[in-house]
Amino acid sequence: MTSQRHTFWFPALLALSLAAALTFLTVPVAAIFLDSSPSALIDSLGEPGALDALWLSLRTTAISIAIILCVGTPAAYLLATRSFPGKALVVTLVELPLVLPPAVAGIALLAAVGPAGILGGAIEGAGIELALTTAGVVVALTFVASPFYVRQAMAAFAAVDRTLLDASRTLGASEARGFVRVMIPSALPGLAAGTALALVRALGEFGATLMFAGSFQGITQTVPLAIYDRFSTQFDSALALSAVLVAVSAAILLSVKLVVGSEALGGAAR
Amino acid sequence: MLRVEAQTRLGALELEVALEVAAGTCLALAGPSGAGKTSVLRIVAGLVRPERGRVLAGGETWLDTERGIDVAPEARRCGYVFQEYALFPHLSAWQNVAYPLHGMRRAEKRERALALLRRFGLDALAEARPRTLSGGERQRVAVARALARSPGVLLLDEPLSALDARTRAGAARELGAVLEEVEVPSLLVTHDFSEAAQLGDRVGVIDAGRVVQEGSPSELAAEPRSAFVADFTGAIVLTGVAGAGPDGLTRVALDGGGEATSTDSAEGPVAVSVYPWEITIEPHQEAAHGSARNRLAAEVISVTTVGNRVRVGLAASQPLSAEITDASARALELRAGLRVTATWKATATRLLDL
Amino acid sequence: MRRALLALGLVAALAGGCGGDDDDTGGASAGGKPQLVVSAASSMTEALTACSKSYPDAELKLQFAGSDELAAQIRQGVKPDVFAAANTRLPDELHSEGLLSKPVVFATNEFVLAVPDDSDITGLDDLEATGVKIAIGSESVPIGEYTRESLARLSPAQEKAILANVRSNEPDVKGIVGKLTQGAADAGFVYVTDVNATDGALKAIELPAELEPNATYGAGVVEGAKEPKPAQAFVDGLVDGECADALKAAGFGAPPG
């Protein structure tokens, strides 16, 4: 009789925890779509400020992801396959923005490349403007999102069997060719996952962008900033923009699962 | 012709080798793990640079540390078959084989790859991914890939060790046939002497970074130069102290009791080497007959059937094993615990330095 | 048996925690002083933080943001004890919606043009030149409303020229001040109290009287506040008490009349 009670309580507690977690996580997300009528949401999306914010978020995120992929991939490869003195320190530095709260990231950027920052004079002298510009938004997004990608990429490259690279070299491909033709395809699921993480981080970036680049429609007011601008007086518009971000983030998550999934299935989908 | 000389320290191992392989022949480097065999392959392929060394292949100098020549691996025309095959998992079988092909259009690459796969009986699996292939099929794809761009040297790292026992026999025959056909020098490494004997035209036994003996497989088995080589080639090795014996023969007092006679001359502590198939088993207490001079009383420990032969594990003052026919084993009613006499000829007894 | 008790205990704790919401904000603290949650406009950050340290009658929990955001929270059902805004429109609106007691006007603030202390800008005319970068408040925050109101009193050409140089619509005055002190913007419209709070990093340029939007600050007790009496006392104290003195020291003006 007593053993029956044991087997009842524990699974019940597990189920209760899951129900609580699920409710807590899904109700706010569902509320975004349910708090107002679909027609009101769609109407408010059409207004120019909202469209500007969406287009700006799309552009800046795309550019920053492109930079992260181009610079981060070779860097991650180096860190994953070579050792050198001080490597642990370098890895920690690369991962640092990951653990920085967005506000701290904003301060850091201002202190470094802001007009009054340590490199500010040099940047100004080179004729580059970052504060209050779209370029500044890209800088902020790249700073906060790159560790998400680099970390995943490092793990993905490190997990690839090194003899594959040896084989590639004995088959006549230089190290660079081997990197492109063997390393990257083998590491692809991990790279895709890292890209997705960096993407959603960049899309949702708020604090560092506001502090470093400011908030101006069409130039620096990305979707999260537009939501913040609207929530006090145009709640429907804030809901609509939030709904778009949720939908896009969900789409990104799903696509990554498809990419990783198709690899596991033997690439039939390719 | 392939010539490789290398002197280098690898971790705790001091590697010092000088090998030559004639075109169209296969040299099998056999030795225990850690002996440095794979390192020799990697030096030839250029994946590792020795402190001092030279690699000459087909008239080209690939490595000469004295003259500062070190051709990059991708520029050396080596076909390397890795121990676990290292097939690219994201490419199909034909794409793997076509990987080394350059300077031709995709259709042509595919044709060349398919032709090679056909030669190995794999053309039906051309589009398959490595993960769906069996061990034997993967091994063949790896060999095909290594041969795809007509290499100047063929290198094989334990090509059969990743296969299960059943597949191994067939794969060994096939690989032997491929090695016969190939017109360039082949260098193969293995930890299994019988594999080396089967696939290699010549065998080099390597231990602790040095080649201790090189020759044809039968030379090594018949005339091992050291206890290590004898043991490695499958002989029984007993220990004892040798001294002069009657009739110009050497008598060895075996450690633990008993004695053996040999036509070899030696003195002092020696290793006594004899092959299991040269040992006969007679019923205990039977009087000696025949010319075999060595007789040891022993107890049967184990009886293992291998095809139509039987391996009998024996315990005398030291362990022995004999290989006799299944029919004889049954006639003698061999079973564990039975007391028998092991006999063999003095002329089949080798005496080696310990 | 122990496992079952542990599970029971966890479930009970969860249930208890989720249960009534009677005991959270505004309950009496251990020292016996009531706790007051005060939502106040960003421009009062320094002044109220200073007087909260020695406020005798309650323990003040202050939160600062743009007045419009704070009002939106109250509309969404968040219940601080006191709402103090940088205008009178928002408190009046909340009062007419039944969310706030009748507001009290407790201070005025001077609306100024702020520039870095080493700036060459001396007046509004300098803001029309191309390449000048201006930071102002967003449309819905009081400082932003005052700015647009004030600029609307200029000639249409001047207003247009100045607005064309705006590069950021910040959610609160602290954001504008930040852009100025970091050198990202050349000029911004804030309150004189904000300039004072920067201790000399910025200088304030006074505007002609006809352009002053008369920034008037109103406050009230939120309907349903946990501690209405101490809350009302605090609001009254903004007019004439410890915190009123702190506001004056920061540069706020006395309430009209």
Which chain B residue shows the shortest CA-CA distance from A266? B129
- Verify that B202 and B244 share a domain, yes or no: no
Amino acid identity, position A73: T
More confident residue, A235 or A265: A235
The pLDDT tens digits along chain C (257 residues) read: 555 555 555 555 444 444 444 444 444 445 578 889 999 999 999 999 999 988 988 899 999 999 998 998 899 888 899 999 999 999 999 999 999 999 999 999 999 999 999 999 999 999 999 889 999 999 989 999 999 999 999 999 999 999 999 999 999 899 999 999 988 999 999 999 999 999 899 999 999 988 898 899 999 999 988 889 999 999 999 998 889 999 999 999 988 86
Domain CATH for A228: 1.10.3720.10
Structural domain range at position A135: 37-263
Q: Do C168 and A114 touch (CB under 8 A)?
A: no
In this structure, the answer to whether residues B163 and B306 fall within a common structural domain is no
Which secondary structure element, helix H or strand E, spans residue B245, and what is its range? Answer: none
CB-closest option in A132, A229, A235 to C167: A132
In a domain, A19, yes or no: no
For residue A135, give the nearest of A237, A231, A18, A214 by alpha carbon: A214
Q: If you measure CA to CA, which chain B residue comes closest to A262?
A: B90
Q: What pLDDT does residue C2 have?
A: 55
Complete domains list, chain C, with CATH? 31-109+215-250 (3.40.190.10), 111-211 (3.40.190.10)
Q: Check whether residue B139 and residue B160 sit in a common domain.
A: yes
Reduced 3-state DSSP string for C205-238: ECCCHHHCCCEEEEEEEECCCCCHHHHHHHHHHH
Which of C76, C119, C138 would best serve as a mutation to test chain A binding (most A beta carbons within 10 A)? C138
Distance from CA of A252 to the nearest CA of C (A): 30
The pLDDT value recorded for residue C27 is 46
Name the C residues in 127-166 with CB < 8 Å from any A CB: 133, 135, 138-140, 166
Residues of A with CB under 8 A from a CB of B: 161, 163-164, 166-174, 177, 181-182, 185-186, 188, 263, 266-267
What does the DSSP assignment read for B161-173? TTS-HHHHHHHHH
Q: Is A7 a member of any domain?
A: no
Q: Per the domain annotation, does A25 fall within a domain?
A: no
Residue of chain C with shortest Cα separation from A133 = C167
pLDDT above 90 for A153: yes
Do both B45 and B182 map to the same domain?
yes
- A20 vs C contacts (CB less than 8 Å): 14
Residue with tokens 């491909």: A173
Do B141 and B40 fall into the same domain? yes
At A39-72, the pLDDT tens digits run: 877 777 788 888 889 899 999 999 999 999 999 9
Nearest-by-Cβ selection for C135 from A214, A217, A228 = A214
Who among A9, A116, A235 is closest to C182 (CB)?
A116
Residue A212 lies in a domain: yes
- What single letter denotes the amino acid at residue A81? T
In terms of Cβ atoms closer than 10 Å to its own Cβ (0-12, 13-18, 19+), residue C2 is: exposed
Q: Rounded distance, CA A169 to CA A177, Å?
A: 9
Binary contact (B73, A186; C-beta < 8 A): no
User: What is the β-pairing status of strands B210-215 and B236-244?
Assistant: unpaired
- The predicted structure's pLDDT at residue B139: 92
B103 and B249 fall within a common domain: no
Token pair 């991650």 is found at A76
Interface contact A229-C168, CB threshold 8 A:
no
Q: What pLDDT shows up at residue B154?
A: 95
Asked if C151 contacts C162 with a C-beta cutoff of 8 angstroms, the reply is yes
The structure's pTM equals: 0.74
What whole-number distance in Å separates Cα of residue C24 and Cα of residue B59? 89
- Do B186 and B273 sit in the same domain of this protein? no
Q: Provide the number of structural domains found in chain A.
A: 1
What long-range pairs does C89-92 form, CB within 8 A, spacing at least 24? C89/C142, C89/C145, C90/C142, C90/C218, C91/C218, C91/C219, C91/C220, C92/C218
| Domain annotation covers residue A268 | no
Q: Are C219 and C85 in contact (CB under 8 A)?
A: yes
Report the candidate in B42, B43, B46, B1 with the shortest Cα–Cα distance to residue B21: B1
Side chain identity at B280, as an amino acid letter?
A: T
Partner residue opposite B102 with nearest CB, options A167, A172, A188: A172
**Least Cα separation, residue A146 to chain B (angstroms):** 27
Task: Using CB atoms, pick whichever of A6, A132, A215 lies closest to residue C171.
Answer: A215
Residues B67 and B57: their CA atoms lie apart, in Å, by 16
Cβ atoms of C37 and C80 closer than 8 Å: yes
Strand order in the sheet with B236-244: B259-262, B250-254, B236-244, B268-274, B350-353
- The Cα B158–Cα C178 span in angstroms is 68
CA nearest to A167 within chain B:
B86
* Domain match, B249 and B212 both: no
Q: Do the Cβ atoms of A164 and B84 come within 8 Å?
A: no
Instruction: Quick: pLDDT tens for B193-242.
Output: 888 888 888 999 998 899 989 988 878 877 778 878 878 888 888 888 99
pLDDT of residue C1: 53
Q: Which residues of chain B lie closer than 8 angstroms to A269, CB-CB? A: none
Is the Cβ–Cβ distance between B272 and B238 less than 8 Å? yes
**Cβ within 8 Å, pair B72-A174:** yes
Count other Cβ atoms within 10 Å, centred on residue A28: 11
A20 located within any domain: no
pLDDT band for A83, please (50, 70, 90 cuts). Answer: confident
**Cβ separation C138–A229 shorter than 8 A:** yes
Q: Is residue B294 within 8 Å of residue B261, measured between CB atoms?
A: yes
B99 chain-A contacts, CB cut-off 8 A? 168, 171, 173, 181
Pair of tokens at residue A35: 């708090």
Angstrom distance (rounded) from CA B282 to CA B259: 17
Among B173, B200, B229, which residue terminates a domain? B229
Does the beta-carbon distance from B90 to A170 stay under 8 Å?
no
At which of B229, B249, B272 does a domain end? B229
Question: Is-contact C198 C131, C-beta < 8 A?
Answer: no
Interface of B with A (CB under 8 A): 45-47, 72-80, 82, 84, 86, 88-90, 99-100, 102, 129, 131-132, 145, 148-149, 155
The whole-number pLDDT of residue A50 equals 85
Residues of B in contact with A185 (CB under 8 A): 88, 90
Task: Write out pLDDT tens, residues B125-134.
Answer: 999 999 999 9
Other residues' Cβ atoms within 10 Å of the Cβ of residue B128: 16
Rg over CA atoms, chain C: 22
Write out chain B residues lying below 8 Å of A171, CB-based. 74, 99-100, 145, 148-149
Question: Which of B47, B70, B74, B132 to substitute to test the interface with A, most A CBs within 10 Å?
Answer: B74
pLDDT of C90 reads 94
| Chain A residues touching residue B74 (CB < 8 angstroms) | 169-174, 177
Residues B68 and B194 occupy one common structural domain: yes
Q: What is the pLDDT of residue C11?
A: 54
Chains touching chain B through at least 3 C-beta pairs below 8 angstroms are A
CATH value at residue B19: 3.40.50.300
What distance in Å separates the CA atoms of residue C81 and residue A99, rounded to the nearest whole number? 35
Cβ–Cβ gap A210/C11 under 8 Å: no
Write out pLDDT tens, residues A166-202.
999 999 999 899 999 999 999 998 999 999 999 999 9
CA distance A184 to chain C (A): 41
Question: Cβ contacts (< 8 Å) between A120 and chain C: which residues?
Answer: 183
| Cβ A105 vs Cβ A143: under 8 Å | yes
CATH of the domain at B247: 2.40.50.100
Contacts of C139 in chain A (CB under 8 A): 233
Structure-token pair, residue B201 = 């035209």
What phi and psi values does residue C226 have, to the nearest 5 degrees?
Answer: -70, -35
Taking phi over 0 as left and psi of -120 to 50 as alpha, with beta for the rest, A266 belongs to left
Chains touching A, CB cut-off 8 Å, 3+ pairs: B, C
One domain for residues B173 and B321: no
Same domain, B47 and B171: yes
Which residues of chain A does B148 touch, with a Cβ-Cβ cutoff of 8 Å?
Answer: 171
- Residues B254, B316: one domain? yes
Domain extent at residue B213: 2-229
Residues in chain B: 354
Among the candidates B229, B250, B266, a domain finishes at B229
Question: In chain B, what residues touch A163 (CB-CB under 8 Å)?
Answer: 82, 84, 86
Q: Maximum Cα–Cα distance for chain A, whole Å? A: 82
Domain total in chain B? 2
* Residue A106 within any structural domain of the chain: yes
Q: Can you say how many angstroms the Cα of residue B118 is from the centroid of all Cα atoms in its chain?
A: 29
Output the CA–CA distances (angstroms, integers) from residue A146 to A82, A191, A250, B19, in the order listed: 20, 12, 20, 51
- One DSSP character per residue, A205-268 reads --HHHHHHH---TTTT--HHHHHHHHTTT-HHHHHHHHHHHHHHHHHHHHHHHHHHHHHHTTST
Q: What pLDDT sits at residue A268?
A: 38
Q: Note the pLDDT of residue A270.
A: 35
Q: Is the pLDDT of residue A3 over 60?
A: no
- B9-22 core/surface letters (b: 16 or more CB in 10 A; e: else): ebeeeebbbebebe
Helix (H) or strand (E) holding B296: strand B294-306
pLDDT single digits (tens) A214-224: 888 888 999 99
User: Minimal Cα–Cα distance from C229 to chain A, Å?
Assistant: 29
**Interface residue A217 vs chain C (CB under 8 A):** yes
> B102 to chain A, minimum CA–CA distance in Å?
9
Residues of chain B with pLDDT below 70 are 354
